[in-house]
Structure 1
Amino acid sequence: MAVAPARGFSLSAAAGGAPLLFRQLFDADTGTFTYLIAEVASAEGLLIDPVFEQHDRDLSLIQELGIQLVACLDTHAHADHVTGSWLMHDATGSVIGLAAVAGAENVTLPLRHGDQVAFGSRALEVRATPGHTDGCLTFVLDDHSLAFTGDALLVRGCGRCDFQQGNAHTLYRSITEQILSLPDSCLLYPSHDYSGRTLSSVSEERAFNARLGGEADERDFVGYMENLELPHPRRLAVALPANLRSGRPRGHTPPDPDGWAPIRRSYAGLPQLESHWVSEHRDSLTLLDVRSADEFNGPDGHIPGSLLIPLQDLEQRLGEIPTGQPLVVLCHSGSRSALATQELLKAGRSQVANLRGGLRAWQREGLPLEHPMPTPAQPTP
């Protein structure tokens, strides 16, 4: 399938680098940041630290932006959430990248210090930054304008060192030699934050990080880290074994609520179906047109057998919609029907989807429409 050019904004063109698309995503339950970075020209991209429960969101964004996902990269084997790398590999064919030293199953791109992960003409440099865990990695953009630091270095903090082969001396050297050695202007993007802080920079952390910034040396850092006395992560017993399988589910898989049709959810979470599939399955679907009566009977026509309930009447007429079949909602362009789809979902309809692109997409594909009979011309007296 041809991939459309990625749609976004230029993040970095320093040192002649090709423009990039960049998105920072967040999972509120675990305080985890996921990052999507792609070269605009080639539409090739990477996903960093995906979260299992946010797979549908991330996949929808990748599809909407027209990105060809090259790889999912994890900064380390997380103890607080399950990675979504295997799910994304299953959906897109992207490779799974994790530190080779972690020894995880299903990894197709074992990473070591000094490796380069290319996407289009750009690349991320792999830097080993152990100390939080043996397998912690920091990914540095080729022009050194930004770095993804995982849990090694957080905004005004750093990862803990009291389990999973953690070592405060090792972490101090990793941060100072591999991260704070980058240019002062290099932006730093952590894997976690719980206070709304989204990024920092090398100069900021070197000056203001309470654990190792300012005049603090290795002795100060180790003394700080060895006295944190933190509780273990609440999902440790589930997350770590799952991440050593790269997030691949084991045992029973919950039923797919969208299994009745090839639903493609938008980044906003809206369930959508393509016109050609709806046309092929019309006999087993109820088609609900939420345009006005004038539009339904106007020159654009309507899909044969569709039920007309204008959007403004939908709430009062819900009882007129058959319940024995899945429901596909449509309008002129897919905009008003998107709102109607949301209303129907809130009302408890589970098997409901928006017709992507509406009647305009249906027309473009040359699918059948009914048009009103022209009114006979009145004879001139």
Structure 2
Amino acid sequence: MIFRQLADPTSSTYTYLLADSDSREAVLIDPVFEQVERDAAILHELDLRLLYTLDTHVHADHVTGAWLLKQRLGSKIAVSAASQAEGADRYLADGDLVQFGARHLEARATPGHTSGCLTYVLDDRSMAFTGDVLLIRGSGRTDFQQGDAHKMYQSVHRRIFTLPSTCLLYPAHDYRGLTVTSVEEEKRFNPRLGIAIGEEDFVGYMKNLGLPHPKQIDIAVPANMKSGQPADGQDKASAQHWAPLTYTFAGIYEIQPDAFEENAATIQLVDVREPSEFDGPLGHIASATLVPLGQLGTSIDRLDRTRPVVTVCRSGARSAQATVLLQRAGFAQVANLAGGMLRWRAEGHPVVGGKA
């Protein structure tokens, strides 16, 4: 099985990718709207087909990427039937299975943080994805969205702590950089829900947290009740629509050599190699302006901010860093020439100078 844990630093949300390595069928748990391009990139790079997005609950701190992924990749949306969210393709009840290839996840109803919380348990019970019901050495809140401390305590003790002690538990959030725990660890060390703590102790604990109102709740909850669909029902295209581009999991937009040739007339090409390389064995592209990477920061004013910029180097590594520097400097339309001059020459595209 293929497994990846992905993080959104803004909301401290974890998104989980699980895929069957034979069929290449995949599911995403708790995708984030702003991270859809990242998620699509890793699915593409690993040659995976997204069957379902699964939300553990209606989130109050970020907007789900479920609707946007459906628009772009054709995946189906699955949520808890108790959530009452609109726009899903499948509404899950306790005990339902979500199949991907030869593997599946079992949906376990674990209300308490919200009434529609689900924990997803992998078929061999080696992993479980607990949403906000059980966090690492903590728990989600119970003071809004139908929260109920009594239900949360019962959900954790009856539906999660009954899993094997070695079962790894992956929460929807962590605010300290922790990534994974286990049933055994949480039974022993969770200061709110540990096995020795009684239900009334937990309820008293939760009544006195005194936490502030979630910053994004007024935006996130209404959007998530529609599975993340924007109010205008439109998938706003990226600003990077000036040419056919590929978004990599490293967070870099790339343009393929053929696509660059087709759009070269409208593009500023910046070669970030050293002068000796520019005039060296690989040669250079006729329209390129030489700006070595080390001088890029002091040469920004040489570039037209109204036109797209493509960067190039020997292999694509230095020019990838150049795209990051240009974006930080306020350039909105920037891409890296995939494979650099090595690929350009290997595919037979024209150069100035260089050796045969």
TM-score by length of 2: 0.89
Aligned residue for 2:7? Answer: 26
How far off its partner does 1:244 sit? Answer: 0.5
The answer to whether the Cα contact below 8 Å between 2:25 and 2:101 also exists between their aligned partners in 1 is yes
1:181 aligned counterpart, secondary structure: coil
Letter of the 2:309 partner, please give it: L
How far off its partner does 1:252 sit? Answer: 8.7
2:336 aligned counterpart, secondary structure: strand
Judge which range, 142-151 or 317-326, deviates more.
Answer: 317-326
Distance 1:25 1:372, change over 3 A: closer
The answer to whether the Cα contact below 8 Å between 1:127 and 1:140 also exists between their aligned partners in 2 is yes
Aligned residue for 2:197? Answer: 216
Q: Give distance in 1, aligned partners of 2:207 and 2:328.
A: 50
1:348 has 2:322 as partner: no
The equivalences for 1:1-381 within 5 A come to 20-251=1-232, 256-315=238-297, 317-321=299-303, 325-371=307-353
The answer to whether the Cα contact below 8 Å between 1:37 and 1:47 also exists between their aligned partners in 2 is yes
Encode CA deviations 1:261-280: one digit per residue, 9 max, x unaligned.
33333233222212221111
Q: Give distance in 2, aligned partners of 1:131 and 1:37.
A: 26
Letter of the 1:247 partner, please give it: G
2:87 aligned counterpart, secondary structure: coil
Q: Give distance in 2, aligned partners of 1:142 and 1:255.
A: 37
Aligned residue for 1:13? Answer: none
1:203 aligned counterpart, secondary structure: helix
Gaps of 5+ in 2: none
Moved over 6 A (4+): 252-255
Q: Give distance in 2, aligned partners of 1:166 and 1:314.
A: 53
The answer to whether the Cα contact below 8 Å between 2:284 and 2:354 also exists between their aligned partners in 1 is no
Q: Give distance in 2, aligned partners of 1:314 and 1:195.
A: 36
Q: Which is greater in Rg?
A: 1
How far off its partner does 1:315 sit? Answer: 4.4
Aligned residues: 355
Letter of the 2:58 partner, please give it: A
Encode CA deviations 1:20-69: one digit per residue, 9 max, x unaligned.
23222222332222212223333322211112222233333333333322
Q: Give distance in 1, aligned partners of 2:206 and 2:330.
A: 50
Letter of the 1:276 partner, please give it: D
Letter of the 2:308 partner, please give it: P
The answer to whether the Cα contact below 8 Å between 1:169 and 1:218 also exists between their aligned partners in 2 is yes
1:176 aligned counterpart, secondary structure: helix
1:126 aligned counterpart, secondary structure: strand
Distance 1:372 1:189, change over 3 A: closer
Q: Give distance in 2, aligned partners of 1:298 and 1:339.
A: 22
Aligned-pair Cα RMSD in Å: 2.5
1:193 aligned counterpart, secondary structure: coil
The answer to whether the Cα contact below 8 Å between 2:281 and 2:355 also exists between their aligned partners in 1 is no
Letter of the 2:282 partner, please give it: D
Q: Give distance in 2, aligned partners of 1:345 and 1:89.
A: 28
Q: Give distance in 2, aligned partners of 1:214 and 1:373.
A: 72
TM-score by length of 1: 0.84
Judge which range, 252-261 or 118-127, deviates more.
Answer: 252-261
Distance 1:233 1:312, change over 3 A: closer
Encode CA deviations 1:181-216: one digit per residue, 9 max, x unaligned.
000000111112223332211111112222232322
Distance 1:309 1:154, change over 3 A: closer
The answer to whether the Cα contact below 8 Å between 2:311 and 2:323 also exists between their aligned partners in 1 is yes
1:154 aligned counterpart, secondary structure: coil
Encode CA deviations 1:91-145: one digit per residue, 9 max, x unaligned.
2111111112222122112211112212222211111111221211000111111
Distance 1:168 1:274, change over 3 A: same
